[in-house]
Amino acid sequence: MNKRITVLLLSIMLLISCAACFTGCNKKEKSPGNAIPEDNDGPAKFTVTALSVSDKIKISYMLELEPGAEGGKVVVTAKPQKGKTVKATLSPYGSAEIDCPDKAGVMTVTLAYTDKNGNELTKAELKAKDGLIQLTPDGILPVVAAMTDEEKAHLITGVSEPLKPGASGGTYAIERLGIPSITVNDGPAGMRYGTTVWYPSVMNLTSSWDTELIAKVGKAIGEDSLAQGIDIILAPGMNIQKNVLGGRNFEYCSEDPLLTAFAATAYVKGVQSTGEGACLKHFAGNEQETWRGSASSAVTERALREIYLKQFQMTVAAASPISIMSSYNQVNGTYTSINKDLLTGILRDEWHFRGLVMSDWGSAGAVEDKVNAQNDLKMPGDADDAEHIIAGLAEGRVDAATLDICCAHILYTIAKSPTFRGIKMNTGVDFDAHNRIAEEAAADTFVLLKNDNSTLPLKKGTTVAIFGNGSYQTVYGGDGSGSVSPNETVNIMNGIRNSADITLIEDAYNIFERCAAHSKTNSKFDIAVSAEYAKGCADNSDTAVIVISRKACEGEDNSPTEGDFLLNERESDMIRNVSEAFHAKGKKVTVLINTGSPIEVCSWRDLVDAILFIGYPGQEAGNAVASVLSGKVAPGGKTVMTWPKVYSDTPAYDHFPGNSSKAVYYEDIYVGYRYYNTFGVEVAYPFGYGLSYTQFEYSDFSITENADGSFTAAVTVTNTGNTSGREIAQIYVSKPETTLEQPALELCGFAKTGLLQPGKSETLTIEITPDALTSYDTRGSRYIIDRGVYTFSAASSAGSIHAEQTVEVKELRVVYDVENRCAPAKEPEHIKK
Catalytic residues: 360
- Which x/- pattern over 112-151 shows residues binding ligand BGC (rule: CB under 6 A)? ----------------------------------------
Q: Which of 477, 448, 474 is nearest to 199 (CA)?
A: 477
Q: Which of 432, 529, 76, 70 is nearest to 223 (CA)?
A: 432
Q: Judged by CB under 6 A, does residue 525 bind ligand BGC?
A: no
Q: Which of 660, 661, 534, 676 is nearest to 607 (CA)?
A: 534
> Between 168 and 734, whose beta carbon lies closer to ligand BGC?
168
The distance of closest approach from Cβ of residue 283 to ligand BGC in the complex, given in angstroms and rounded to an integer, is 11
Residues 438 and 198: their CA atoms lie apart, in Å, by 7
Q: Judged by CB under 6 A, does residue 186 bind ligand BGC?
A: yes
Q: Would you give the end-to-end CA distance of the chain in angstroms?
A: 44
- The H helix count followed by the E strand count for the chain is 20, 39
> Between 62 and 235, whose beta carbon lies closer to ligand BGC?
235
SS3 of 108-122: the string is EEEEEEECCCCCEEE
Residue from the set 337, 435, 445, 481 that interacts with ligand BGC by CB under 6 A:
481
> Between 100 and 189, whose beta carbon lies closer to ligand BGC?
189
Residue from the set 31, 122, 136, 168 that interacts with ligand BGC by CB under 6 A:
168
Q: Judged by CB under 6 A, does residue 302 bind ligand BGC?
A: no
The distance of closest approach from Cβ of residue 62 to ligand BGC in the complex, given in angstroms and rounded to an integer, is 36
> Between 359 and 630, whose beta carbon lies closer to ligand BGC?
359
Residues 1 and 66: their CA atoms lie apart, in Å, by 7
Contact 374, 342 (CB under 8 A): no
Handedness of CA 387, 390, 393, 396 (dihedral sign): negative
Q: Judged by CB under 6 A, does residue 431 bind ligand BGC?
A: no
Burial (0-12, 13-18, 19+ Cβ within 10 Å), 660: exposed
Q: Judged by CB under 6 A, does residue 281 bind ligand BGC?
A: yes
The distance of closest approach from Cβ of residue 307 to ligand BGC in the complex, given in angstroms and rounded to an integer, is 20
Helix (H/G/I), strand (E/B), else coil: 298: strand
Contact 350, 384 (CB under 8 A): no
> Between 186 and 667, whose beta carbon lies closer to ligand BGC?
186
The distance of closest approach from Cβ of residue 363 to ligand BGC in the complex, given in angstroms and rounded to an integer, is 9
Burial (0-12, 13-18, 19+ Cβ within 10 Å), 199: buried
The distance of closest approach from Cβ of residue 250 to ligand BGC in the complex, given in angstroms and rounded to an integer, is 12
> Between 21 and 234, whose beta carbon lies closer to ligand BGC?
234
Contact 21, 354 (CB under 8 A): yes
> Between 115 and 360, whose beta carbon lies closer to ligand BGC?
360
The distance of closest approach from Cβ of residue 325 to ligand BGC in the complex, given in angstroms and rounded to an integer, is 6
Contact 282, 237 (CB under 8 A): yes
Residue from the set 133, 156, 232, 234 that interacts with ligand BGC by CB under 6 A:
234
Q: Judged by CB under 6 A, does residue 187 bind ligand BGC?
A: yes
The distance of closest approach from Cβ of residue 324 to ligand BGC in the complex, given in angstroms and rounded to an integer, is 12
Q: Which of 361, 345, 352 is nearest to 304 (CA)?
A: 345
Of residues 603-632, those binding ligand BGC (CB under 6 A): none
Of residues 311-370, those binding ligand BGC (CB under 6 A): 360-361
Q: Judged by CB under 6 A, does residue 560 bind ligand BGC?
A: no
With a CB cutoff of 8 Å and minimum separation 6, the contacts of 224 are 190, 191, 196, 197, 429, 434
The distance of closest approach from Cβ of residue 264 to ligand BGC in the complex, given in angstroms and rounded to an integer, is 14
Q: What residues are paired with 112 via a beta bridge?
A: 75, 123
> Between 187 and 672, whose beta carbon lies closer to ligand BGC?
187
Give the strands of the sheet with 132-134, arranged side by side: 86-90, 73-80, 106-114, 120-129, 132-134
One-letter amino acid for residue 458 of the chain: L
How many residues touch ligand BGC under the rule CB under 6 A: the total is: 8
Provide the binding-site residues for ligand BGC, judged by CB under 6 A.
168, 186-187, 234, 281, 360-361, 481
